[in-house]
A and B are shown apart, each in its own frame.
Chain A
Amino acid sequence: EAGVAQSPRYKIIEKRQSVAFWCNPISGHATLYWYQQILGQGPKLLIQFQNNGVVDDSQLPKDRFSAERLKGVDSTLKIQPAKLEDSAVYLCASSLGWGSYEQYFGPGTRLTVT
């Protein structure tokens, strides 16, 4: 069974530029999560999708971050414009859906904003 795929693995941009990350969850997983992991901290949930609907985006900085999961499968997270404090690893995870508490994580995208 293929795991959660993410790309790119690494990205370096200058502040005020835009960037996009892609995630393809495990086949059949209805729930998809995006987390931000700042160095030295645990992952923090940015947004949770159930199929193609948003369940929780309370911690997403909506003035600069956006995410979509149009067909209920893969997802894109965008930052525009980026700030220095956005430097972090962005993790995507998926789970079967409601009632399933086991999340499977991708390898993450390491973003450096200079």
Chain B
Amino acid sequence: AQSVTQLDSQVPVFEEAPVELRCNYSSSVSVYLFWYVQYPNQGLQLLLKYLSGSTLVKGINGFEAEFNKSQTSFHLRKPSVHISDTAEYFCAVAQTAGGTSYGKLTFGQGTILTVHP
């Protein structure tokens, strides 16, 4: 079984400032890692994913995340945020292979990012 902990429930930041949303995970097997964004009254949209290869992953809207296996973390970053980035962000993991858990996403509890002008 795996679990995901998002260390901050809310992150307020001013426009054009950098931001980091923190995510730690726990798993007894190898996992794939994801960040999703949810705008008000909408479904989840994939921001980026780590499946293999370079530990620095770039996604849409200028976001990037770094996979750190030793620290079991997958923090999301953006060097300069915009008002339009205000949303809730979810970190998720999926078991890489085997059994009925294949492809199943386990989500963290979410981080609300609020960008102030």
Contact surface of A with B, Cβ cutoff 8 Å: 4, 31, 40-45, 48, 55-56, 58, 91, 93, 95, 98, 100-108
A105: nearest chain-B partner, CB-CB: B43
Contact surface of B with A, Cβ cutoff 8 Å: 4, 32, 34, 36, 41-46, 49, 51, 90, 92, 94, 100-110
Q: Is the CB of B45 within 8 A of A105?
A: yes
For the complex with contacts A98-B102, A108-B43, 18 further pairs of A-B residues with Cβ separation under 8 Å are A40-B109, A43-B107, A45-B104, A45-B105, A48-B103, A56-B101, A93-B44, A101-B32, A101-B34, A101-B49, A101-B51, A103-B46, A103-B105, A104-B46, A105-B36, A105-B43, A106-B43, A108-B42
Q: Which residues of B contact A48 (CB under 8 A)?
A: 103-104
Picked from A56, A100, A105, A106, the residue with its CB within 8 Å of the CB of B104 is A56
Q: Is the CB of A107 within 8 A of B107?
A: no
Q: Which residues of B contact A41 (CB under 8 A)?
A: 109-110
A108: nearest chain-B partner, CB-CB: B43
Q: Which residues of B contact A93 (CB under 8 A)?
A: 43-44
| Residue contacts A-B, CB under 8 angstroms, 27 given | A4-B43, A40-B110, A41-B109, A42-B90, A42-B92, A42-B109, A43-B44, A43-B90, A43-B105, A44-B107, A45-B105, A45-B106, A48-B103, A48-B104, A56-B100, A56-B101, A56-B104, A91-B43, A93-B43, A93-B44, A98-B102, A98-B103, A100-B103, A101-B32, A103-B105, A106-B43, A107-B41
